[in-house]
Amino acid sequence: MEHTRRVTLSKRMSLALRHEPGRFGLTLDPAGWVSIDDFLAALQIDRADFDTVVALDDKQRFAVIDDRVRANQGHSVTVELGYRPAEPPAVLFHGTSADAVPSIRATGLHRGKRHHVHLSPDEATAQRVGSRRRGAVAILTIDAAAMARDGHVFYRSDNGVWLVEAVPNHYLSCSAPTSTSMG
């Protein structure tokens, strides 16, 4: 399958599994799973294309177990993914738009519509996440060790994204030389 088509399909699958299952006539179970047969029928995709997207997805966004599929992370609908708290590395990163930095500096990182703030294990990944935004990218460094010490609970999704409820501003600093200074 051609790359562009794979990305389009991956986005539709993410929409159905994370944000708007109802729009496709689907109901996720409490842990976010749906039957693959129902999913294929609802999205009108064939099994071979589905398998290709699941296997080749650049972020391993989808989990398949037996005859069911779910998104590994990124939901806005209520699901209990069952992740257990995990000890984070000493620092984590967050890529965002440089324009957002003054607001983040004032109020910290918020989860918005998602269940958690998403953090990256390395700067290259954060750079990719931030590049989804318009304009210059800012990379924030998060003192995850201090947060964990202070009682903030971290989770790691099956595809390696670090998740936390919120990041108060005093754990943040700006590390990218090309991005807006955090002062």
Binding site for ligand HQG (CB under 6 A): 59, 61, 74, 96, 100, 103-104, 107, 109-110, 112, 114, 118, 129, 133, 161
Note the maximum CA span of the chain.
53
What minimum distance in Å lies between the beta carbon of 27 and ligand HQG?
A: 22
CA dist 175 and 133 (Å) reads 18
CA 9 from centroid of its chain's CA atoms: 17
What minimum distance in Å lies between the beta carbon of 111 and ligand HQG?
A: 7
Per this entry, what is the length of the chain?
183
CA 161 from centroid of its chain's CA atoms: 6
What minimum distance in Å lies between the beta carbon of 100 and ligand HQG?
A: 4
**How many Cα neighbours within 13 Å face the side chain of 48?**
1
What minimum distance in Å lies between the beta carbon of 152 and ligand HQG?
A: 15
- At which residue do the structure tokens 């983040």 appear? 104
The answer to whether the beta carbons of residues 69 and 33 sit under 8 Å apart is yes
Cβ-based nearer residue to ligand HQG, 68 or 73: 73
Cβ-based nearer residue to ligand HQG, 34 or 125: 125
Cβ-based nearer residue to ligand HQG, 35 or 127: 127
Cβ-based nearer residue to ligand HQG, 32 or 46: 32
